[in-house]
Amino acid sequence: MAKVTVVGAGNVGATCANVLAFKKVADTVVMLDVKQGVAEGKAIDMLQTVQTLGFETKVLGVTNDYAATADSDVIVVTSGIPRKPGMTREELIGTNANIVKSVVSQCLNYSPNAVFVIISNPMDTMTYLTLKATGLPKNKVIGMGGALDSSRFKYYLSAALQANPAEVEGLVIGGHGDTTMIPLKRLATYNGTPVAQLLAADALDKVVADTMVGGATLTGLLGTSAWYAPGAAGAYVVESIINDYQRLIPSCVYLEGEYGQNDICIGVPAIIGRNGVERIVDLNLSAEEQALFEKSADAVRKTNAVLTEIKAL
DSSP letter assigned to residue 66: G
Residue of 154, 176, 185, 247 with catalytic role = 176
Q: Is the peptide bond before 194 cis (omega within 30 degrees of 0)?
A: no
Is 221 exposed, middle or buried, given 0-12, 13-18 or 19+ CB atoms closer than 10 A? exposed
Q: Is the CA virtual torsion 262, 264, 265, 268 positive or negative? A: negative
Among the listed residues 231, 280, 237, 302, the one whose alpha carbon sits nearest the alpha carbon of residue 25:
237
CA angle (62, 235, 75) in 5-degree steps: 45
Residue 312 backbone dihedrals phi, psi, to 5 degrees:
-80, -20
What span, in angstroms and rounded, lies between the C-alpha atoms of 12 and 218?
14
SS (H, E, C) 248-289: EEEEEEEEECHHHCEEEEEEEEEEEECCEEEEECCCCCCHHH
**In this structure, what DSSP letter does residue 81 have?**
P
Q: Respond yes or no: is residue 135 known to be catalytic.
A: no
CA–CA separation, 102 and 274 (whole Å): 25
Contact 187, 171 (CB under 8 A): yes
List the 193-194 sheet strands across, edge first.
168-169, 189-190, 193-194
Known catalytic residues are 176
